[in-house]
Amino acid sequence: MNDVLDQVIAPGADLIERVDAALMAHGIPTDHPVTGLMRRVGALPADVLSAATGWRPTALRATASDLRRTAAGYERQRDLIAAPAPWEGAAGEEFAAHRAALVAFIGETGEPTEASLAGRLRATGDYLDDVAEWMERARRNLAHAVAEALGSAEAVALHAGGDALAAATIAARVLTAASEVYADGDDLTRRWAGRLDQIGYRPPATIAPSSGAIRLSG
């Protein structure tokens, strides 16, 4: 499904490429704000626009849904494993200990935490949804900046004669939006820092060696 960036990309890309070409050919006007923005973003406007056109939030949302379905599948298996087996003796105790450890790893019945396998899968899905929302905001904000540039007097001046000041002004408009996008992305990264680190299965504590005998209760 197309969004506003898809709608302005064709004329927008042509204009922004003209902006980059003018900046490369004529340089940046002295003390223009675009200088600081270029340092902050670390890219020219055409590079920013090219990167944003490749961001497809729909694919991330689909993956998030797949992760939640996988988590639900693990939870169904957990419920099967959690049912006590009618075994007694040392081997039965050992099996019960491994069963309890595996159930805890997958996630206890109820709402699992991010520290469990199912909980971590769901949290990863939530993270992907957050990234998808960030991409949507980013694409929308950049599209608005490009649309404003397309209708500006600077765009007319740039088409008329490759005016360096007009190019710098348009570049500043696009890179300001890009700077806000990057700051938003940094906030998202900080919110999720450490929450999706790899977790491992912890086997139960050592149990006395089994004689191998298993007695069925009941």
> What is the extent of the structural domain holding 63?
4-203
Beta bridge partners of 88: 215
Instruction: Please give the Cα distance from 80 to 82 (Å, whole number).
Output: 6
Report which residue type is found at 150: L
Q: Specify burial of residue 154 (Cβ count, 10 A radius: 0-12, 13-18, 19+).
A: buried
Q: Which residue has the tokens 């499904």?
A: 1
User: Is 158 a residue whose pLDDT tops 60?
Assistant: yes
Lowest mean pLDDT among 32-46, 96-110, 155-169: 96-110
Q: Per the domain annotation, does 209 fall within a domain?
A: no
**SS3 state at 54:** coil
Complete DSSP assignment for 97-157: HHHHHHHHHH--SSS--TTSHHHHHHHHHHHHHHHHHHHHHHHHHHHHHHHHHHTSHHHHH
pLDDT category of residue 103 using cuts at 50, 70 and 90: confident
Q: Per the domain annotation, does 218 fall within a domain?
A: no
Q: Per the domain annotation, does 212 fall within a domain?
A: no
CA atoms within 13 A on the CB side of 63: 14
Residue 82, both tokens: 């959690």
Q: Which residues, at least 6 apart from 82, have a Cβ–Cβ distance to it below 8 Å?
A: 99, 103, 109
Q: Is residue 45 within 8 Å of 166, Cβ to Cβ? A: no
Looking at the 3D structure of the chain, how many domains does it have? Answer: 1
Q: Per the domain annotation, does 75 fall within a domain?
A: yes
Q: Is residue 12 within 8 Å of 4, Cβ to Cβ? A: no
Q: What is the pLDDT of residues 1-15, one digit of tens each?
A: 578 898 999 899 999
Tell me, what DSSP letter sits at residue 95? H
Q: Which range has highest mean pLDDT (114-118, 124-128, 197-201)?
A: 124-128
Q: Per the domain annotation, does 214 fall within a domain?
A: no
Q: Per the domain annotation, does 92 fall within a domain?
A: yes
